[in-house]
Structure 1
């Protein structure tokens, strides 16, 4: 116990900026769904830190502050009523197999928060796909309750699930402000956009990656929608629904699991946006952005290598051309 209480943390200013950007979204999750949101986040943080500490203690290295970001991001992708034990299992899996198995911070191939989310999504689908809660409204909202009531019909489930089952679309103001059922941090489009602006302004997250995801998504969804593919909603509705913005701002921009060159970031982002539309329209998963980012993570290293290769080829041609002229 004394070892745990005396654990040291590696200071990472960049990670703290991400937490600052997440603070309003965390408060919004409490307003919409109740104080259980804070407990769910706290459980994820606790077990995420302990999982990383279990690996660091042998080498006597400090726990990274990045694990706090991983745990908070992971918990914000969970429905409000997710059992605490499911949240704990997921974050432990994400930290161990999405991060420490590759050698720890800076070496992971996949976004560890999404590794954990994908694991609980396929392992405990009942809690992640069918149990949603009604968003609170008015004053004091969720600040006056532990947990808001569960939805009583499919018509009041998340906007994308409702669209898939009935073709009905939520009101744009509701999905913009967050007055819809969904995961803790994915409902309020306005707060996520403001967070994205802050992260770009402070040079904490890549604007190229964000721009690529939005470009790829809007282009592909417009093509499908314009050609009459009924499974794909109009691009604007899809943009504000299903965690697309949250994934774009906070997950796709993870500096470790995404490409390093600006050109590769654009390609990477476009790939994620395109794959998101395809998964949403034709797979069993209503969201799509989670698996799209993990697929993008797979291609990130080779995209950097391809950009480097083409740049070297261009440089070589320019040099050869100069030699011939001389």
Structure 2
């Protein structure tokens, strides 16, 4: 008897019991359900929530794989085992088995914990509330490992995932009812609960934290440092990375955020499959450019001088903000979340523009937290329903005016 048949039999056997959602989830995740409707209107379509989630995961896989190579590359570069990349995206110094294996063994546990704990909470709530297990966490489970530092302790990640799923989603009613992006809720919890593990110059390079502890214990070793570009700019330090390094992703940072090139390709894939909103992506970029240009003009006018702690980030060319930090990743994969984003087409323009605008604003004026896209998206998640409300009310008023003109 096949696995599909066994799962179907188990689903039927435990139908009506507390464990029914668990068996049903496994069956429908792996196979197409045997159940069909027998009356009423039928709409046949190839897409459903599971396929939509899997499509988004496919768009993120290149970032995940690149992140594995980059984790090993940053480690080997920091300890002096290899030279920096000099020959472009397909450089032989980067795409090595050693780099990949270092990253693989560090990142896979993060993925396992993210999915294991998150889906465990989903299953628990499905059993308690006696409803079907929802597929919404499939994307969140992949997003979480991509937006955290490489050396984040697994127990911290587990606690954050529990918090994010319960407080960020389940208390609102589950998938489709939440007002905040669950993945960003998880990252926000980590940042405010364990700030030393989400910032600084140690957590972004594999082994840097362990090396620091060994040195503190008396070991005669060289320290490993891996400050992010935004962290360095916030402290007024010189940047040692080229524009090419920033765009291609050969820089320290969260696992999935470094390669703007692959993020753009993932965004184009989401637009092509009509899952990601191009309006939100484009308007977010326009908002960031607008804020960046304003800051550049402030510096050019001499209002801010080099003595100011804001000078380094304000004087950064506006387009650099698009290729450093987590801006691109956040805009493509999290700002476009169809549940927490604005639903109206006009509303998406306002929603995205303010995400980009506020992201750069936070970067510049909060040196302790130079990455602002997370807070910007969460803030606009809260305002998205309000934006849609006023857009809809505006449309209603325009229609009423047209109606009055016709009847006059």
- 2:382 aligned residue: 298
Q: Against the structure 1 CA distance between its residues 120 and 191, is the aligned structure 2 distance closer, same or farther, given a 3 Å change threshold?
A: same
1:132 aligns with 2:203: yes
Shift of 1:12: 1.8
- Does the 8 Å contact 1:48/1:68 carry over to 2? no
- Does the 8 Å contact 2:292/2:319 carry over to 1? no
Distance in 1 (alpha carbons) for counterparts of 2:22 and 2:62: 29
**Of 332, 336, 342, which residue of structure 2 is paired with 1:249?**
332
Taking structure 1 as the reference length, what is the TM-score of the superposition? 0.90
- Does the 8 Å contact 1:132/1:181 carry over to 2? no
- Does the 8 Å contact 1:133/1:148 carry over to 2? no
1:26 aligns with 2:96: no
- 1:141 aligned residue: none
Shift of 1:132: 2.9
- 1:8 aligned residue: 25
The CA deviation string for residues 93-122 of structure 1, in whole angstroms up to 9 with x for no partner, is: 111000001010110011011111101100
Distance in 2 (alpha carbons) for counterparts of 1:5 and 1:316: 50
Within 5 Å, give how 1:75-86 maps onto structure 2.
Answer: 75-86=145-156
Taking structure 2 as the reference length, what is the TM-score of the superposition? 0.73
Moved more, 248-257 or 161-170: 161-170
More helix by share: 1
Shift of 1:168: 2.3
Distance in 2 (alpha carbons) for counterparts of 1:7 and 1:305: 37
- Does the 8 Å contact 2:208/2:224 carry over to 1? no
- 1:138 aligned residue: none
Within 5 Å, give how 1:82-93 maps onto structure 2.
Answer: 82-93=152-163
- In the alignment, structure 1 segments of 5+ residues that lack a partner are 135-146
Give secondary structure in 1 for the equivalent of 2:54.
helix
1:122 aligns with 2:205: no
- How many residue pairs were aligned? 310
Moved more, 301-310 or 124-133: 124-133
Q: Which runs of 4+ in 1 moved over 6 A?
A: none
The CA deviation string for residues 30-49 of structure 1, in whole angstroms up to 9 with x for no partner, is: 11111211211111111110
Shift of 1:86: 0.9
Distance in 2 (alpha carbons) for counterparts of 1:5 and 1:260: 32
Distance in 1 (alpha carbons) for counterparts of 2:403 and 2:138: 48
The CA deviation string for residues 183-202 of structure 1, in whole angstroms up to 9 with x for no partner, is: 01011110101000000011
Distance in 2 (alpha carbons) for counterparts of 1:322 and 1:107: 40
The CA deviation string for residues 34-72 of structure 1, in whole angstroms up to 9 with x for no partner, is: 121121111111111011111111233232222021121
- 2:321 aligned residue: 238
